[in-house]
Amino acid sequence: MPYLIDGHNLIAHLSDLRLSDPDDEAALAQRLLLFCQRTRSHAVVYFDRGQPAGQRPPARGGLSVRFVSPPRTADQAIQAHLARLGRDARNWTVVTSDVELQAAAARFGARTLTSPQFARRLAAPPPTDEKPEPPRDPGEIASWQARFANRKRGERG
């Protein structure tokens, strides 16, 4: 499921990021990029102010970053994005704790997650793809190969 994210609203709910940090947007974007790659999802994060207009970072790894120039706000840009999506808005989730933006998302049929809810998803450890330990010696490999060969011939071993 793709996400539309109210970036500064989310930063305020992350324990290790601060809105006063001049690199808070970059830190959040890096975290979101890893989340998108891990979950194979797509996200568009909107920030109030930030980089000068016209200097949009390229989308990569499922993440697009948008900086909104005043007097427009990130909330307004997210609502405009939902309007462009039309009926497809119901396939998106808006991440914000802003009550007005949540209500607007609901009017468009989009799902919502509060920023603290999404922050917990970001903090969740990635699933482990544990692989069995490699055989300890060549004799163990030969033993397993013989066992599987015997099963193919119908023997139990």
Q: Which residues, in sequence order, are CB contacts of 12 under 8 Å at separation 6+?
A: 19, 115
Q: How far is CA 115 from the centre of its chain?
A: 13
Whether this model's pTM surpasses 0.85: no
Task: Let me know if domain 3-132 sits in CATH 3.40.50.
Answer: yes
Could you give the CA distance from residue 115 to residue 75 in angstroms, rounded to a whole number?
14
- pLDDT in 10s for each residue of the chain, 157 residues: 899 999 999 999 999 999 988 889 999 999 999 999 999 999 999 999 866 544 556 567 799 999 998 999 999 999 999 999 999 999 999 999 999 999 999 999 999 999 999 999 998 776 666 555 665 566 656 666 666 666 556 555 5
27 close to 21: Cβ distance less than 8 angstroms: yes
- 3 state SS of 56: coil
